[in-house]
């Protein structure tokens, strides 16, 4: 079952913040986050393991609520370079590192 992301699309002005959510119906072992620009391969942003830890990558951070099987990606003070499609990737318990990608969130940052 594919994780569901929300929102499907969002437009931000430079400097604004955004939150992208990822929800799974299965017990998760880990959540990955990726950004993909048009015509390019996905770029790995971070991985969160079960335990609710929050990780950060410059002005991009994420949290993982293992009880709710949900993860959120936080983008603060957005930059034009943040534009792209964001995917969460989930790994279920006993999934042998098989990553299932979410439905995707298209983010556009405008000047």
Partner 1 sequence: ETGVTQSPTHLIKTRGQQVTLRCSSQSGHNTVSWYQQALGQGPQFIFQYYREEENGRGNFPPRFSGLQFPNYSSELNVNALELDDSALYLCASFSSLRLSEQYFGPGTRLTVT
Residues within the interface to partner 1 (CB under 8 A)? 2, 30, 32, 40-44, 46-47, 49, 87, 95-104
Instruction: Strand 55-57: give its sheet, edge to edge.
Output: 4-6, 18-23, 70-75, 60-65, 55-57
What is the nearest approach in angstroms of partner 1 to the Cβ of residue 19? 19
Under 8 Å between Cβ of 22 and 100: no
What is the nearest approach in angstroms of partner 1 to the Cβ of residue 11? 18
What is the nearest approach in angstroms of partner 1 to the Cβ of residue 104? 5
Nearer to partner 1, 12 or 32 (CB): 32
Nearer to partner 1, 82 or 86 (CB): 86
Nearer to partner 1, 13 or 40 (CB): 40
* Alpha-carbon distances, residue 23 vs 9, 16, 56, 85, 88 (angstroms): 16, 24, 20, 17, 9
Under 8 Å between Cβ of 5 and 104: yes
């Amino acid at each position: 079952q594919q994780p569901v992301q929300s929102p499907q699309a969002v437009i931000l002005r430079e400097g604004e913040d955004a939150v992208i959510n990822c929800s799974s119906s299965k017990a998760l072992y880990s959540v990955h986050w990726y950004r993909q620009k048009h015509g390019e391969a996905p770029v790995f942003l971070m991985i969160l393991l079960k335990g609710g830890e929050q990780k950060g990558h410059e002005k991009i951070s994420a949290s993982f609520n293992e009880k709710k099987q949900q993860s959120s990606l936080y983008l603060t003070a957005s930059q034009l370079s943040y534009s792209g499609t964001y995917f969460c990737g989930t790994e279920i318990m006993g999934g042998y590192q098989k990553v299932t990608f979410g439905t995707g969130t298209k983010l556009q940052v405008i000047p």
